[in-house]
Amino acid sequence: MKIQIFNTNGLVGKADAIERFANEQKTDICATFETWLAPNATVPFPAVVADHRCAISEVIVGGRRYPKGILVHTNSSAYCTAVHELHTGLNDNAAVVEANGVTFIFAYLPPSYKPDTCMQDLVDLANSLVDTSASHCVIAGDLNACSMALAGDHLTNI
């Protein structure tokens, strides 16, 4: 099973390149972070498994109206029915997906998400989902290196 992770900083002008890379690499599951898709925007990928958008109306830094965003899709016909979303977690900052007996936590943790506890929150979520004696769990995503516990500095450690 091949997994692809992208932090896109917006999908405009990038969806074709993401799809091309997935096809070239024969990727099965693709997770894209910081999609910034508006609630009514069309998803530019086929076989969507999880689509989490942030619907806010105020303009944030840089003029972007829809921060965050997690999009998980399959790029392999063999995985179209084998991958499904179990649920969301961490205040919609994580999509929990199951494929072939493996639980994936695809997370986008913005710098504002509890920087002192974000890594522990991910581990706690994983522990709540997986029977460690019989299952595998993969945590992947854009974690923004904002954990003071790991980095010692969440203000300048980009």
102: β partners: 99, 136
124-147, pLDDT tens digit by residue? 999 888 775 567 889 998 876 555
Paired tokens of 35: 């999609």
99: β partners: 83, 102
How many CA atoms, within 13 angstroms, populate the side-chain half-sphere of residue 62?
7
Paired tokens of 149: 């516990």
73-111, pLDDT tens digit by residue? 988 777 777 787 887 888 888 899 988 888 899 998 876
For each of the domains in the chain, give its residue range(s) and CATH number, in order of start.
Answer: 3-151 (3.60.10.10)
48: β partners: 73
Residue 115 has pLDDT above 80, yes or no: no
Please report which helix (H) or strand (E) contains residue 3, including its range: strand 3-7
CA distance 133 to 45: 35
Q: Does residue 67 or residue 155 have the better pLDDT? A: 67
Collect all residues with Cβ–Cβ distance below 8 Å to 107 and sequence separation of at least 6: 70, 90, 93, 94, 95, 122, 139, 140, 141, 142, 143
The DSSP 8-state label assigned to residue 105 in this structure reads: E
What is the per-residue pLDDT for 152?
A: 55
Return the minimum-mean-pLDDT range out of 6-15, 44-53, 138-147.
138-147
DSSP string of 10-22, one letter each residue = --TTTHHHHHHHH
